[in-house]
A and B are shown apart, each in its own frame.
Chain A
C-alpha cells in the first residue's frame, strides 16, 4: 500500500478560553490520496475551517492543536519547525479561503499578489514572474491585462478565480478549498466549479474540498467525510455516501435541500441545533437530535467502525 498524500491522525484542536479549553476538533482522522478530491461536509461551526487551518498550522491564538498528527507526503507537518512549515505553505499545500471577497489585499494589484505567491519560495526574475502571472490568470480564464487591477475593480467571481490562480502558483500537490463558491451567485458558482474540476483533471492535484452543498460534493468529490460538532461521523467514497450512508446524521444531510444562497448549511431535515462546543453532550454528540438513538448512544462515544473497506462510521447502530 502506498502512503497517501495527506494523513490526518486523531487531530484535536482547542480554543484556550478564559473559562477553560473548548475542544472544537476531537480526534479527527482521514486520509487524502494523490489525485483525490476529499469533501468535508458539516454544519456551520462543526470545525471545517479549523481542519484546513490546522493542516497548514495557521490557527491563531487562542486556538491550538492539542493532539494528533498531520502527515503530508511522508513528512510530519505537526513536527516541523516554523521555517520548514513556511516552505510547505503555498509550495506543497495551498489554501483557498472561505470568503472570496475578503481574501485579497485591497491595496495591492492582484498581479502583485499573484507575484508574491510565485516569488515566496525562490528568487524569480521580474520578467519571468510577470510572465507567470499572465499565464496563471489566463489559466483561470482572466484577461492577463487585469493583473494591474485592484480587487475592488473585479467581480466576485473574478476575485475567486484570482485566489484559485494564486493557489495554483507553485503547482502544489494539495489544495485546501474552504467553501470556495459560497459567496458567489449560483451561475458563477457553476462556472467556477467546472473550472476547478477542469484544472484538477488537467493538473492532477488533490483537493480537500469544504462545502455545505452535499449534492455538489457527491458530484465533484471522490471521497467524503462528514463532520459533526468536531468529530467525524462518517467517511466513505462518494458513491458509497450517496448510496449507503450509514450514520443517521449523514442520512439526514442527504435528505435535506440546502439553500444554495445560505451562508452555511442549514438543516431542514434534522430537527434541533448542533451542540454548544463548550458543553458537548456525553456519548455520541449527535444523539440528542437522533431519532434512532439507543441507550448506549448517550453513555459512550462510538468509535469509528469499519463498515466496508474505506467506509467508516462512528455510530452504535448495528
Chain B
C-alpha cells in the first residue's frame, strides 16, 4: 500500500470515529436524553418542529442500530437537522454561512503567518548570528507566548478603538449590500484585517522558530556544503538546497499545528464578533442548540482532517521519497 493510501485509510477511520462519537455522546447523557434535550424547546417550537428535529437528529423509538443507520445516512447526505436557536433554518445552512467566513479569515491568516514565519526562519538561519537573528526570533517568540485572547483584545483596543484604523466587529459593514462589488470586497477585507492580524501575530513566531531550527540542521548537511563547492550563488543554495529540504519536517508540523490554529481563530472570532464557526459555537452553547453543536463538532473535526490530508498531499508532492515509500513506517 502506498504512503498516501495508508494516510487516506487513517483519515477515513478518524472521520468515522468522530461521526460515531457525535452519535453516542448525546445518548450517554444521564436520565432520558431525548426528554432532557428536547424539553427546553417545548413552547419555543411547534410540536411538529420538535418532531422533525427528533427525526433528523436520529432519535426515534427504533432500535439503536436502526437509529445509527438513519443518522449515518443523514450525515452522509449533509442533513444535520434543524437548528434550535436559528429555527427554522437548517443546521447545514447555518454552518455553511459561518464556514465561508472562517475559511476566508483563517485561510488567509494561516497562509500569511506560515509564509512570513517560514521565510523569516530561512533568512535568520542563513544569517545566523546576524542582527535579524538577534531580534526577530526572541521578539516573535515572546509575542507568541501571550494567549490568543489577550493579543486579540490588545489589537482590538490599539488599532480598533484607540487608533480607529480598522473596524472592530463583524465580517462586513451593515450598510454594504453583499455581492460582487468593489465596495463589498473592500468592506470584507478591512473587517478581516484585525482578526487576521491577531492570528498572524500570535502564530508567526512559532513558524519562524520551527523553520530556523530545521534550517540550521539542514545547513550542516553534506549536500549543502557540496552545493557551495559547486560555486552556486548563495541564494540558490539557500532556497533550492537548504530551505527546500527544511520545508519537509516543517510542513509536517504545520499539519499538526492546524488544530491549534483553528481553535485560536475561533477565539479570535469571538473577540471580533466575526460571524464564523467560532462565533456560531458560542451562540449554540449559550442557547444549548444541540443540533448546531453537533454539526459544528462534526464540521470542525472534518475540517481539521481535511486540512491534514491536504498537508499530506503537499508533502508527497514535495518529497520524492514519500511518493514511492512502500515499506511500513
Contact = CB atoms under 8 A, between A and B. Distances in A.
A83 B25 CA distance: 67
B240 interface: yes
A4 interface: no
Contact of A90 (B221, B229, B321): B229
A90 B233 CA distance: 12
B245 A106 contact: yes
Interface in B232-258: 232-233, 236, 240-241, 244-245, 248
A105 B320 contact: no
Contacts of B245: 105-107
Contact of A95 (B226, B240, B248): B226
Contacts of A117: 230
Contacts of B236: 116
Given A97-B226, A103-B226, A108 B129 contact: no
Interface string B297-329: 000000000000000000000111100100000
Contacts of B231: 86-91, 120-121, 170
Contacts of A102: 221-223
A53 B227 CA distance: 13
A90 B230 contact: yes
Nearest to B240: A108
Contacts of A163: 226
B304 to A, nearest CB: 27
Contacts of A105: 223, 227, 240-241, 244-245
Contact of A53 (B128, B220, B225, B233): B225
A163 B223 CA distance: 10
Contacts of A152: 320-321
A103 B222 contact: yes
A111 to B, nearest CB: 13
B232 A116 contact: yes
Given A61-B129, A107-B319, A150-B320, A99 B222 contact: yes
A53 B224 CA distance: 13
B7 interface: no
A58 interface: yes
Contact of A120 (B230, B248, B320, B321): B230
Contacts of B225: 53, 58, 95, 97
A262 B240 CA distance: 33
Contacts of A108: 240-241, 244
A98 B236 CA distance: 23
A89 B223 contact: no
B228 interface: yes
Interface string A101-123: 01111111000000011001100
A53 to B, nearest CB: 7
A166 interface: yes
A170 B232 CA distance: 13
Q: Is the interface of B mostly helix, strand, loop or mixed?
A: helix
Interface residues of A, number: 34
Contacts of B244: 105, 107-108
A102 B236 CA distance: 19
A146 to B, nearest CB: 14
Nearest to A108: B240
B222 A98 contact: yes
Contacts of B227: 105, 116
Given A105-B223, A108-B240, A95 B321 contact: no
A56 interface: yes
A104 B220 CA distance: 13
Interface string B194-221: 0000000000000000000000000111
Nearest to B220: A60
A61 B221 CA distance: 14
A94 interface: yes
Interface in B75-102: none
Nearest to A114: B230
Nearest to B229: A95
A182 B137 CA distance: 40
Interface of A: 53, 56, 58, 60-61, 86-91, 94-95, 97-99, 102-108, 116-117, 120-121, 150, 152-153, 163, 166, 169-170
30 contacts: A53-B225, A58-B225, A58-B228, A61-B128, A86-B231, A88-B231, A89-B230, A90-B230, A90-B232, A91-B231, A95-B225, A97-B226, A98-B222, A102-B222, A102-B223, A105-B223, A105-B240, A105-B244, A106-B223, A107-B244, A107-B245, A107-B248, A107-B319, A108-B240, A116-B240, A121-B231, A150-B320, A153-B324, A166-B226, A170-B231
| The 9 nearest A-B residue pairs measured at CB | A90-B231, A95-B229, A89-B231, A90-B230, A102-B222, A150-B320, A117-B230, A120-B231, A105-B223
Given A56-B228, A107-B245, 8 more contacts: A86-B231, A90-B232, A97-B226, A106-B320, A106-B321, A107-B320, A116-B232, A116-B240
